[in-house]
Structure 1
Amino acid sequence: NLPYEKIGRNEPVCIADEVPFDIPQSWEWVRFGMISTYSYTKKKINAQNADPKMWGLDLEDIEKGGRLLDQKTVGERKAVGDKTIFDSGDILYSKLRPYLLKILVAPDCGICTPEIVPFKVFGNIVPDYIVAFLKCPYVNTVINSVTYGVKMPRVGTKTMTELLVPIPPLSEQKRIIKKLCEVEPLADNYTEAYVQVAKLNQEFPELLKKSILQEAIQGKLVSQDPNDEPASILLDRIRSEKQRLIREGKIKKDKHESIIFRRDNSHYEKRGSEEVCIDDEIPFEIPENWTWTRLKNICSLIGDIDHNMPKSVSSDVGVLFLSAKDLLDDGTINYTQNVKYISRADFERLSRKALPKKHDIIYSRIGAALGKARLVEIDREFLVSYSCCVVRPLLVYAPYIRYYLESPQILLHSIKARQSIGVPDLGMGEIKKYLVALPPYNEQVRIVEQLEVLLDRCNFKK
């Protein structure tokens, strides 16, 4: 009941430790080299001496899994160098990156790259059965465990010829291939569905988060309370507060401040003495007690540091100096892990425009982190590089503005408005003119409370 192998006149040797699985009694184990011409010397030809109308096969013409994508002639491919000749019905096996399973039965004769090994099988063995065998997980595991070459792994001829192949009777080989032809389309459909489901599972949390944020900024997440002070009155109070800060010299007057209002069912923006219809800018309808405004109109600061880089950067001494990479995916700011520090002199030079304070928002305006907004929740002296700007809401609920800046509406605007060909860069002017759907203050608080509950309940990153 054990498998033995006899080589030449040598005594039979038990190979039970090599045989990977049991097979039916009518099947036989054989070495791949005994049933194929895989190790035989191949016929070669220089491509320039070949018939230009002949099929010229390259690896790029074969899809992962073995599907033939294209059949170009030698002339069309403008092939050069030595090629291997193959016949119609030969099995074509890619020895380069064998895990890609670029294996098929040649539908025609032609020439191919030396990375493809053409071979025949003996004894009327069904070529498609051998192709199916070479694609099976058992073979894939064996071959890829002994490939050589790190960047361009290949399988050696000795490895291939010593493979143990289970050979069924010819009639059973044909039945196996017929059944495989029936089930492979179903398996392909399942694979495609599985990939789509896996992708959806990966993307769903972020998509749902964006959907919740969009509902929030449109006034659909919590109900409106008629007892809330309308946002228009809050906006008047913000304007008065800004005037006071201007008189005290704490902020500079905005020469381009605007007021958005409704008239005749349209939205207008008053800029100085000019009134402009901005209906094409308004992205959605908002509740009656909400109002539209520009981000700069509800902030006392939107700015970044001087773009001159610090003269010296340290890993452990000086004043904390953060960047966009420190805006973490869990909704917080990293103040401690692998952070940088700058000298006191650099700090004094760079901190004149945008020194972050508690309740400010750090907003990323550059690179892959573009659009991230994080709330400063601690009293700590630090600066943030010009990869980010500091947003300081005035008399509005800062957490609401933080979430608003991460909403799909603002993200879409920021992607369209980003500058530069290299690293995407969002200009300060674009950030300042963001349209904000402003709810009453109490509703801002309720929206954030509900957002926190939903994001936490769904175990999302805030």
Structure 2
Amino acid sequence: MPFEVPSSWVWCELGSVNEIARGGSPRPIKDYLTDATNGINWIKIGDTKKDGKYIDSVKEKIIPEGVKKSRMVHKGDFLLTNSMSFGRPYILNVDGCIHDGWLVISPLGKVYTSDFLYYLLSSSFAFEQFTNVASGGVVTNLNSDKVASTKFPLPPYEEQKRIVLEIEHWFALIDIIEHSKVNLQANIKFAKTKVLDLAIHGKLVPQDPTDEPASELLKRINPKAEITSDNGHYQKLPEGWVITPMQTLCALVDGEKQNGIERINLDVKYLRGEREAKVLTSGKYTAANTLLILVDGENSGEVFRAPVDGYQGSTFKQLSIHEEMYTDYVLQVINLHRKTLRENKVGSAIPHLNKKLFKAINVPIPPYEEQKRIVNAINKTFTILDKIAVNL
């Protein structure tokens, strides 16, 4: 026997306590389909629900004459998928006919409880047995006689009921855990946004009074810039911080056009690792480590870093950040506004980055050294949150 069972259990062939048969398909099926009230339910794989246990309704019916060329099944019978993703059980809540993509398992008396047999047939042990007896080349099929010969453990009837209660108790707990997992993933995503929000309000790391004020940094970036340390959106910023529009700190540019040199096409799919490199002989030159911002498509505002020298993809602009700013700090500010940028794209046929909105983003600027401390704190926090997400 496959494994040891309690002394009160026995092993039995599935066919010794169930009648097992294959469905049949009247052909051509279109000649047998009907909308008449006396039509017979025509049960198909498409009538099942994902992760469902029961088949409660059908979408099509066949004429009564089709029954003799098919197989009639009844409420309480089990259907087992017979090809492609074979071995998946369902309990019938309707009467009807089945095609040859199904096996029907009709219990003979009260040997197995319905719920216990369902969980038994859904087990990995059952799937392993069905796989071992399946036949076919391109399409794998289950033979009714071979399925009938598979062996399964049979506990006492009342113990089966107790086992089902225990299974469903644990399944309910697992569902709660899975639901909590989804909620936790959403909370992790929210936590990252909150961390970024705290960062640009000066609440993530302590200030150092010895740092050079950001106003001096801004003067070097743009001597004509208006020094603003507060506004309606960012009230009560720390002393030494200033605010300026994004357009003061960075620009969206194209690379220099080049011809006759083979370079990699830096498009979205390549940068996301979704396909191998495609080589072009001309385009807008982009040096390795250049920042590229997506300006066309649903994810406009997403930033990539060119891994190699290449040609700038047509959906990108180069993101040039002023050298007086700590690059990763500016990138985190952009990251915080990604949702707003996605929701406010312009253009109908192809959505584009709203460049006017992007340039107008108010960027709170801390002293340069504090920018580095902020990015370091963000990275450490995100690493912890990512570890939690991976291990859910």
- TM value normalised by structure 1: 0.64
Tell me the C-alpha RMSD between the 2 structures: 4.5
Q: Deviations over 1:44-96 (max 9, x none)?
A: 89553975486664434434555226435xxxx34347554223333333334
| Equivalent of residue 200 in structure 2, options 217, 239, 243 | 217
Distance 1:52 1:285 in 2: 76
* Match for residue 48 of structure 1 among 34, 59, 82: 34
- Aligned-pair CA distance for 1:194: 4.3
Matched residue, 2:249: 298
Residue aligning to 2:390: none
| Equivalent pair of 1:356/1:390 in contact (CA under 8 Å) | no
- What's the secondary structure of 2:325's corresponding residue? coil
Structure 2 CA distance, aligned partners of 1:410 and 1:454?
19
Partner of 1:7: none
User: In the alignment, which residue of structure 2 is the partner of 1:250?
Assistant: none
Q: How does 1:26-425 map to 2 (within 5 A)?
A: 27-39=9-21, 46=32, 48=34, 51-52=37-38, 57-64=43-50, 66-68=52-54, 70-71=56-57, 77-80=59-62, 82=66, 84-96=71-83, 101-104=88-91, 106-107=92-93, 109-126=95-112, 128=114, 129-147=116-134, 153-168=140-155, 172-173=156-157, 175-196=158-179, 209-240=192-223, 267=231, 282=233, 286-299=237-250, 301-305=251-255, 318=262, 322-325=266-269, 327=271, 339=277, 342-343=280-281, 346=282, 350-351=284-285, 361-366=291-296, 370-373=300-303, 383-394=311-322, 395-406=324-335, 409-419=336-346, 425=352
Quote how far apart the aligned CAs of 1:101 are. Answer: 3.0
AA in 1 matched with 2:3: F
Q: 1:64 to 1:397 in 2, by over 3 A?
A: closer
Q: Distance in 1 between matches of 2:50 and 2:321?
A: 54
Aligned to 1:271: none
Deviation per residue, 1:311-347 (Å, 9 max, x gap): 77xxxx6456534456579xxxxxxx9655554xx36
**Secondary structure at the residue paired with 2:20?**
coil
Whether the 8 Å CA contact 2:302–2:338 is kept in 1: the answer is no
Deviations 1:206-261, CA, capped at 9 Å, x for gaps: 66555443432232221233454543454344222xx7xxxxxxxxxxxxxx9695
Is the partner of 2:21 in helix, strand or coil?
A: coil
Contact 1:224/1:443 (<8 A) preserved: yes
Alignment partner, residue 373 of structure 2: 446
TM-score calculated relative to the size of structure 2:
0.73
Secondary structure class of the residue paired with 2:80: strand
Q: Who wins on radius of gyration, i.e. which is larger? A: 1
Unaligned segments of structure 2, at least 5 residues = 388-392
C-alpha offsets along residues 414-461 of structure 1, whole Å, 9 cap, x if unaligned?
21133567776425444333332222333223323434555567787x
**% identical aligned pairs:** 19
Letter in 2 for 1:79: K
Q: Which runs of 5+ in 1 are unaligned?
A: 1-18, 244-257, 268-278, 330-336
Report if the CA contact (8 A) 1:65-1:100 is conserved. Answer: no
Distance 1:130 1:376 in 2: 57
Q: State how far apart, in whole Å, the 2-side matches of 1:60 and 1:119 are.
A: 19
Change in 2 beyond 3 A, CA 1:234/1:384: same
Paired residues in the alignment total 375
Q: How far off is 1:146 after superposition?
A: 4.6
Q: Kindly state the Cα deviation for residue 188 of structure 1 after the two structures are TM-superposed.
A: 1.8
